[in-house]
Amino acid sequence: MHPPTRIRARAGVAAAAALAAALVATPASAHPGKSADGGEELWVNPKSSITEHLRTEHLKGQDRADAEALAGYASASWFTGGTPSEVRKDVRDQVRRADRADAVPTLVAYNLPYRDCAQYSAGGAASQADYEEWIDAFAAGIGNERAIVILEPDGLGVIPWYTTIDGAQEWCQPEDADPATAAAERFAMFNHAVDAFGALPNAQVYLDAGNSAWLNVGENTDRLIKAGVQRADGFFLNASNYQFTENSTAYGHWISSCIEVITRGLGAAADCGNQYWNGGPANDWTGVAMTRYAPWTAGNADPAADTSGVDSKYAQQLGDIVPTTQFVIDTSRNGVGPWDPTTSDVEYTGDAEDWCNPPDRGLGARPTLDVDDPLVAGYLWIKVPGESDGQCYRSLGGPLDPERGMQDPAAGQWFAEQARELIELAVPPLETTRADCRGKGKGNGSADANGKGQANGKGNAGGNGHGQGHGGV
């Protein structure tokens, strides 16, 4: 068993935050989800899964204050199963309560067959017919009310028996799924859902596009087009992950551009510039793989963080064509970017699970529908911050998380230590207030659901990098 080296490594963080050790975040205003320009307000659900943790897990002192602070921001509500009549009723209850508050709820539909390919978040509907009936009921629950629907995190990143655009057979191969039909059925289910939600007058639906450290742009765009993204309101990025907002923004712009390249017949998916080789006219086609561990900007002095090459390649391909497909970004835990396992005191020879409760992360931008970018429809907290990704063994067998020297709570349960980190290390900082620190507790109850994604990818100059990921409940 490895010693709890991460606890020692975090001592510097704790010391730096000593004066703030008893501080917690509070919303900057009475309406933390409201757009700065007075536009639509994201709904802060007074019966969110965080408030359920407060009710069932009897959190005290700092743990309670942290949960109460996070509950003051708009986060998504996850729907992960139940009968059609049950999901219709539950969704209707949420959208009606949000409407009475004159705000827009964020709802996650997470019930595909072979969800998460039978891994941490296994489950989902039993068949395509069952799923489509469930989706129809979900849409009926929304009816004429306003809603933002996040459709199936990792549902396009992890497809059963799927062959990529360069002919590689992906790893998800369930024994009881038909290799000849499983992938086509997945796309058929997405298209059905896009049409079901698209028929609603006031709902917006966004499709899964993973994150900027996973599938390359062309591979991702090809899947989005097959899933019906042109009839949806766009796609979502970074769900339950940690990639920098700058990187997600650049990556989203490239996907939107790649959609135009493919659908207008200007090139194939493999012709789309991507994050695994960033050559283009602006850098004389001297591309390199882009790093996930630094924010990407145009003209960055670090070639591995410079978007100029890919930007200029799309400008050359598109001419006066302006990309229009919008996207939303999950900023619930990406304030300091992703965790780099090579910086750990633990030496990993297998998968360090950098997506699973990584240490020393911080909250990112607050939820809002007011973003100064024509393609970014909003920053959302899709993942509920403070809820565990699962019991992370990082390929070392457990029972402890080697980064923390403790057993992490099961997926969806409250993770008090992580909630504290997210608040202490938030970027931008959260306004704080004193908490009652006379007691301290850690809850072990279950919540509605949450999500997580894996950020592993590889690629080459042809733009055919691939990765794999996990959704989470």
The binding site for substrate consists of 78, 214, 241, 355, 383, 387
3-state secondary structure of 137: helix
Residue from 51, 69, 185 nearest 125 by CA = 185
CA distance 140 to 142: 5
Residue from 253, 226, 308, 273 nearest 464 by CA = 273
Per the CB < 8 A criterion, the answer to whether 216 and 177 are in contact is no
Strands (E), 382-471: 432-434
CA distance 279 to 289: 9
- What are the helix (H) ranges across 233-307? 245-263
CA distance 161 to 177: 8
Residue from 269, 266, 91, 97 nearest 167 by CA = 269
Per the CB < 8 A criterion, the answer to whether 172 and 290 are in contact is no
Which amino acid appears at position 223 of this protein?
Answer: R
| Token pair recorded at residue 264 | 């207008």
Residues acting as catalytic residues: 116, 154, 389
Using CA atoms, how far residue 49 sits from 199, 447, 449, in Å, is: 29, 6, 8
